[in-house]
Amino acid sequence: MPTADFVTVDVFTTERFAGNPLAVVPDARGLTDRQMQQIAIEFGYAESTFVLPPENPQNSARVRIFTPTMEIPFAGHPNVGTAYVLGQRADLFGRPVGDTLRFEEIAGLVEIKLLREAAEVIGATIRAPRPLEIGVEIEPGLIAGCVSIDTKHIRTTGHKPVFASVGLAFAIAELDGLEPLAAARPNITLFREAAARHAGAGLDFPVFLYVRSPENPFAIRARMFAPLDNVMEDPATGSASAALSALLVTRAPEENAQAHVTIEQGVEMGRRSIIELDVVKAGGTVTDVAITGRCVPVMRGSIDV
């Protein structure tokens, strides 16, 4: 019976059994689309990745990302974790693994720099594959209903709830405090209504809630819910964090800026994650978003396919 080797890692953390778990199949040659989806379902993580030889030999690999229900064009923690896993290897499809990687993905080319302490790979920094795209605004009451809180807790002074993306779209909303953030619970019926109302705006209406620190507006606590994608809550969402960071820096009054954003997520789940982001703005436009995270290994083995 054919098998596929796998590695799992916890991403955006320095502690095992914290952060966001990820399953990586470092060599997915021979697997069909259906088998990749079945493996992602079997793991049940927010995402699993499958590494294939690049179509362009100048790149490092082609990386496919699957949630338990579908293939997606881009996500933050799968790229950080996959780069970490591949960074442990001496070669990748016959070529040496250096300090930089380039992944071909549906959303575009993802550039990655491995983080090292001495000679050991400890994580990675990735760059968002697309510029910020701001979509339609969302009725605050719709967001509030989806997460079972009072509409009064949705802040609209900085921005109204809105779809934003740097490769994968999220419904992003600011709350007025940590108490309503902690109280949020997904209401699947209302998520279905919201997804039907905003069909095509985002995959299954994933909602990213956040609260800014009064002392430092770029220190943020967040939660992400995507129950229609079988992810009741995600402990770390790099793609949503990147979209939020780009959105906030875009709306800041400075024409030119370099902002460092720290997003803490997964606290309410008992899987605390730390996502570091660096955003560059020039001439009023965000030109670069880098997402940095550390990783720890958890499991390795093989799957009968």
Report, as residue numbers or ranges, the catalytic residues.
47
Kindly state the tokens that stand for 81: 């974790």
- Alpha-carbon distances, residue 196 vs 23, 67, 164, 182, 193 (angstroms): 31, 20, 18, 26, 5
Distance separating alpha carbons of residues 144 and 265, to the nearest angstrom: 19
Amino acid, res. 35: Q
| Whether 189 contacts 196, CB under 8 Å | no
| Beta strands, E only, 75-119 | 91-92, 95-96, 100-105, 108-117
Nearest to 191 by CA among 226, 237, 150: 226
Residue 202 backbone class (left: φ over 0; alpha: ψ -120 to 50; beta: rest): beta
CB atoms under 10 Å from CB of 208, counted, come to: 25
| Whether 249 contacts 227, CB under 8 Å | no
Q: What is the DSSP letter of 202?
A: S
CB atoms under 10 Å from CB of 28, counted, come to: 23
Distance separating alpha carbons of residues 53 and 305, to the nearest angstrom: 20
Q: Rg (Cα) of the chain, in Å, rounded?
A: 19
